[in-house]
Structures are given as structure tokens and as C-alpha cells.
Amino acid sequence: MIDAYSQLTGLFRRIAIVDEAKAILGWDEATVMPDGGAADRADQLATLSGVAHDLLTAPEIGDLLDAAEAAPPADPFESRNLYLMRRAHRQATMLPRDLVEAFVRQSSTCEKKWREAKNTSEFRVLAPSFSALITLVREYAQVLGDAFDVAPYDALVDQHQPGIASADIIPVFARFETFLRDALPRAEELQRQASYAMPVGAPPFPEVAQEAICRRLAAQAGLDFHSARLDRAAHPFCGGTPGDIRITTRYDEADFCSAVMSVLHETGHALYEAGLPREYARQPVGLAAGMAVHESQSLIIEMQAARSDAYLGYIGPILAEAFNQEPTAFAMDLLAGRLRRVERSFVRVEADELTYPAHVILRFRLERAIIEGDLSARDLPAAWNDGMRDLLDVVPPDDMRGCLQDIHWYTGLFGYFPSYTLGAMTAAQLMAAARRAEPTLDDAFARGDFAPLLGWLWRNVHRYGSRFGFNDLVMLATGSKLDPTDFETHLTKRYLS
């Protein structure tokens, strides 16, 4: 007879395949699905979510978990896999099937309203649908909070980065606020003295040329297009599955930097997915260790490596050739000035590396207030504008550049935003450790070669999947738990010296 653990791996493989189908449908929805398909897609995603939920909550799962735990596997990956299976089962059994389907259906509906509202910059178009979604998210969070004996908002954070809670986030964000209060005006003054507003190249930068550059740099960074695609979407993302990776971007013929850097960012996500342990594919332990870890992998490629002097010196001639302009128009100092320009901007995805965490801190505060019932949907635009004024002393001129700019909340993703800045801090800490182990990284970046960095990341992060929790993984890779010091050191060197 097949032992209980082996039976569980077979069942969880089926669940993973259903989730993979959802991921591809989600990519299709964001890239090529006609608007008229929205209602059908909502039903499809809701039904598949219900199927996955039924598989995970089947009575036999509980019985098999009991049997496997009575004689647990000795292998540490398999032991961790069993633990994660129990955790997933416990969570699913606490969530009623009708709540799961209602949540998925409403998130799909709300996303379509968000697209309409963003195009017209009118939050009121979205407010009723968003209010209905918030009700479901709060119910979802309460059920999970009760199941794991944590606050509802912390239950949502844990969904995206297991092992992290508000108590971990609040002091880290408070420390960064203090750092930013002093660093931002100093960086702005240095920038004025250095004339960092100088343009790079001469637009227009044709979309077809930008796409070719993006594909070239992504492939050179290590992305295998035999198992990956690059497409267009309203919001850049990395989706699909480890064996069928889908990344997207958007193009602006007045500014090539946005597309190039977003593709390198999403390539970082894709390389992490591709580097996960294949022997545990479609098992909980074979998945990414959480979204803060995932963001650390995208940001170590984009921010730490691709925006380094060495790499900018490498891509300058490539850009000049692609846009048929003089190489001097894409000199390293000009690219650095453009890509490191500090500005108190309205839009998170266009924010510079120094002010970006302030955008995340704002969202962290607002979504906590929403989940805890202290902020209603109708009051979000005003609360958003007040928060931007407090953190960056700017106020968005419209909802499109205010509370409608991100898709996350309007698809039900609450508790996700802290992962962006936790990931940035982790990326800096990982890069500091990688440089200690591989002192010639900049020489490789100057050749456009990310292989030494990726090799170090595979050995210290990728190959472990979810074998370790966030804190243990950071400790294993760097020798210490998450510490913002390396991030502040990086920012000081890049923007204040």
C-alpha cells in the first residue's frame, strides 16, 4: 500500500495543478481577454477556487495527515512539506466554500470596475463594488485570525509572507521614516547640485525597439524564453507557473526606462520561480518562501544589480544602438541620473528607490485601518491624500494618481504591500552578503553577466523553496536576521555621497 505521506503528495499535486490553471487564466484576463469575457472569467476562477478548496478540505486529507504525522518522514524537506500541508488544510477547513467562491467572484468583478474607474479617474464608479469586496475580505480575515489565533490583519499578512506580523513591520517602518526625514532633503539638495534632471536620449523610443531590448536583457539575465513569455498588461507582473512563466510590462515611447527596469524586475521574480527545487514541484515546500522573499529576488536584480554603475555602463551602448542614437546620449552618468532621480512623486511604481518605501508605509497604514474597520471605502480617497501629505508633502491631483493607481486592493490583495519594502531591505542584506562571498560581482555586471549573483542566490535562497521560514532563511543566507542597516547603507552610498 502507498504510505499516507505519498498519498498526500499526490493529492497536493492535483491541487497545485488547479492553482496553475487559475494562474494562466489570470494572466489571460490581464493581457488578452476581451472585456466581454469578464463575467465568464469570474465564474471560471470562482469555480476552480471551489474545486481546489474541495480537494483540500476532503475528509481523507485530514485522515492522511493524522496518519503521516504519526510516522513523519525523516527528510527535512519532506518533514517541512508535511507541516505546510497541515497548515494549508487547517486554513482551508476554516474557510467555508461559499465564502471562497464569493470572494473570488467579487474580486474579479471589482477588478473590472477598477479598470473603468482608473480610466476615468473616478473612485465613485468603484466604491460600491469595493465596499462589497471589503466586507468579504474582513470576513475572510476574521476566519483566518480565529483559526491561527492572530489579529485579522496579521492573518492576511501571513498569507503573503508567513511568519511576519504587524509587530515586526511597525518598528522597521518607523525606523525608515526617521531615516527618510533626514535623507530625502539631503538627497534632493545633492541632486540639484549635480543637475540630475538631464535627459537620456531623445524620444520617441519606439515600442518595438523597447520590447526587443527588454527581451534581450531578460534573456541575458538568465530567463529562458523556451519556458517564458513577455507580454503587455496595464500593470507589470510575473505570473504563470515555474515551468510556464508569464511576465508583462507596459511601454511609454517618451520613457524607455520604465519598461526596461520593470522587465528586469519581473525577470527577478521569474528567475526565482525557475530556480525553485524541481524535485518538490507542486508541493507546498517547493513553492516560494513568501512574497517578501519574492520581492527581494526581483529587487536584487533590478535595484541592486541593474541600477549599479557597472551594469548601466554595459547597457548604455545597447540602448544607443537600439534607438539609433549617439552612445554619448546614453552614457552611464546620464542613465544613473535618470534612474536615480529622487522625486516626491504620486505613483508608487514610478517612485525612486529612496521614496518608494513611503508609498508602502502609506498603504500599510490604510489597509490596516480598512481591515480593522476604522476606514470605509468611501473615505479612502481623502485618507490617501492626507497620508501622502504627511509622508511626502505632496497631494495627488486626481484619483488615478491617488488611491486608484494600484490593482492590489481591488482584487482582494490585502496584507501584501509590506512585502515590497521588507523585500527591498532583504535584497540589500542579501547583496551585501553576496558581495562578501563574490567580490568580483561588479566586474560581471559590467559584462551584463548575472550568473555569479544568480549562482549565489540559488545556493542560498532559491533551492530551499519553503524549507525555511522568512527569518530563518534570511539568517541562513546572510548570517543575521532582517536588519534595515544594509538597506540604509546602500541608500546612503547611492544617494547621499
pLDDT for position 445: 98
pLDDT for position 349: 84
> What is the tens place of the pLDDT at every residue in 132-173?
999 999 999 999 999 889 999 999 999 999 989 999 999 999
pLDDT for position 350: 84
Active site residues: 266
The arithmetic mean of pLDDT across residues 488-492, rounded, is 97
Bridge partners of 249, per DSSP, are 232
Rounded CA separation 75/86 (Å):
17
> What is the tens place of the pLDDT at every residue in 269-315?
999 999 999 999 999 999 999 999 999 999 999 999 999 999 999 99
The overall average pLDDT reported for the chain is 95
> What is the tens place of the pLDDT at every residue in 11-24?
999 999 999 999 99
Q: Would you state the cell numbers that stand for residue 425, as one nine-digit string?
A: 531591505
CA nearest neighbour of 284 among 419, 82, 462, 463: 82
The arithmetic mean of pLDDT across residues 64-92, rounded, is 96
> What is the tens place of the pLDDT at every residue in 23-47?
999 999 999 999 899 889 989 998 9
Banded model confidence at residue 199, pLDDT cuts 50, 70, 90: confident
> What is the tens place of the pLDDT at every residue in 100-127?
889 989 998 999 999 999 999 999 999 9
| pLDDT at 197 exceeding the cut of 60 | no
> What is the tens place of the pLDDT at every residue in 372-406?
999 999 999 999 999 999 999 999 999 999 999 99
Contact 349, 355 (CB under 8 A): no
Residue spans per domain, the chain: 4-120
CA distances to 127, 130, 368, 402 from 376, rounded to whole Å, are 10, 10, 11, 16
Q: CB pairs under 8 A, 24+ apart, for 278-284?
A: 278/242, 280/77, 280/81, 280/465, 281/242, 281/243, 282/12, 282/13, 282/16, 282/17, 282/20, 283/9, 283/12, 283/13, 283/16, 283/81, 284/12, 284/81, 284/84, 284/85, 284/87, 284/88, 284/466
Query: Strand 244-249 relative to strand 238-241: parallel, antiparallel, unpaired?
Result: antiparallel
Helix%, strand%, coil% for the chain, nearest 5: 70, 5, 25
> What is the tens place of the pLDDT at every residue in 436-473?
999 999 999 999 999 999 999 999 999 999 999 999 99
> Any idea how long the chain is?
497
pLDDT for position 437: 97
pLDDT for position 208: 97
Query: Across the beta sheet with 238-241, what order do the strands follow?
Result: 228-232, 244-249, 238-241
Rounded CA separation 446/434 (Å):
17
CA nearest neighbour of 147 among 91, 84, 98, 103: 91
* pLDDT over 90, % of the chain: 91
Banded model confidence at residue 195, pLDDT cuts 50, 70, 90: low
| pLDDT at 196 exceeding the cut of 60 | no
pLDDT for position 198: 62
| pLDDT at 2 exceeding the cut of 80 | no
